[in-house]
Structure 1
């Protein structure tokens, strides 16, 4: 039985004033039914969204029937004096309309709340007496506070759930975009690595086995002529060499390419080290606060040798800071030294050097990317920036993560302030991740 419905029926019948109460229950007239005073009904208050109790509704409507013109404050004083809980002024009008029959129902009735059964609120007199006689003391009393429907109706923030299911799709789109951009870039530099190897084989066959030791620049031209572009130099020089091969040679004596004269040296091709796309650039922050992990004071030692020293310690040791330095990478290069440029100054917005920028260490502030030439930078959108350039965020292990960095496509690198055994792992992670990025983009840089 629904206690709210019973109170409404007695009010409409005009016998609510004849009902009585004791310290624990409400006794309705002409019905062998008792309502526990503290039982919650399924009427949800506008004040605090809580369920109103039987005693509050019963005393309110009984007082209203007896004193229809009384103010709400008068009712509250009377309820408190009688030892009953009170209800809010916000619920007054709607409750009166529903309980007196002016309205068939109320929007404040929560149909998802189960009606309390006999054991916890609505009980027959006989059942009550039999239970008191037969049951031992301390019988556990249970009631359903929430069920599946009420939980589903409760307001919740589902943003994290939606983000969880959207993440795989967003990652898939990002990877497809990277592959497409890499494919577009590869159209102009397809088979560049293999072409470089074929070029070296060609020169060894036509110059001799000493080609590697001659330190010749195969992209050079004659002394009196301008240096040809990098992309076209190989084909031009290979054509010249084939023409030279067809010319008659002296029957004896050293070859022209091996002589030490200036003219011969000018005509002889010179070897480049690495790939034909230029020296990669790594940009580090120019900041000098306690949260900066890498800058121009300590970046060279870490990126070249895998040894980390806090920049302020290096500065106090008397080291001079340059805005740009070159490092020699040997990690995973089979003993060869590959040159990288480390700088704190980004190239000019229209500079061709942007094609050489391979990595950047971010601080966590969007102003760091002011005047960068990528789409969306002016609006704070760094998607294209971190698609073309591998981003890294270096922080100390005790510092919190920067919220905005979590939304960027950058790789975190954690460094300990005091423990040095993890520096090598961070060093290797940086180079492995940068290699993976450049390989994915089929980069022509000399990495």
Structure 2
């Protein structure tokens, strides 16, 4: 009898307690003995044959939840029965079905040799071996079968599985969240350094232009003929780097935490997710520098993004070119403008919303001169188009203001 049939027979009779392990073998009462690592005729849906020790452990612990069973088998360094194989295997071993497509018609090579335990000698012997004593040389001995050691079976009995598909995916003593956090920190540090470099370049450029203006002023002092003064490009919106305002409230989609990914990379990342990635104890940034990287234009414009305009000076307000609105009146409290008409004549407004939100969420915003930008809750590949729409509207607004 092969190992699978013997295990099924003992399972149906409720005699699993008679299956005793001794060394590297399982003894089925006094009837059969098989190597623990002998392959059975039951083939998993993954293509491999289950070993006897795997099936014995499973049939004794099938009452456990699958996750608990997997943990127990891993602790004992045993290959486990996969979830798709659980029910059909139990139905067969308990006799609820008489056959299964997972059973090979021919028994595995090792099981046939495993029925009779191999001899302790590695030499093959025969009945006429002179080393075997003959008590009565005159009395003929009964015929005895040849016993040849199966070296393949002997090797298989010494094999032990080290890894399976599930254990290979385990990373002991490693925290994958910590790896993600560390990677995110490095990326944010890289962005910070790039932003600082861009700021340094802008400061240097401003100083050069300031020096040119000073030279023009000196020349005018010498020559009474009026000379045209030099201006920064876009000076109609104030000297220096343009400013984009975002709400400081958490219920808005675009905040100072995720505005950089949205405008530079064209990807919407929820603010809550970005906050969780920050280093513990880190303070919210006061200013974030963004550039338009979503086009192939060589000229790249830089913008400062801020969410606390309460401390702005008049020169700072002159640099404000855009605002992401929350849709609440209190966002514009203490702003140096008469009303919404004046605000959105001098500053372009954007309202970012999920495309499947109710109309009521944008009811107030529709009364303002504000561009509504819709994004999807799940389709992140559409974020790029939304970010490009913001840039196109902003650049069009900047051009119109520079000529007024």
Q: TM-score range, shorter-chain basis?
A: 0.3 to 0.5
Q: TM-score, normalising length from structure 1? A: 0.38
Q: TM-score, normalising length from structure 2? A: 0.41
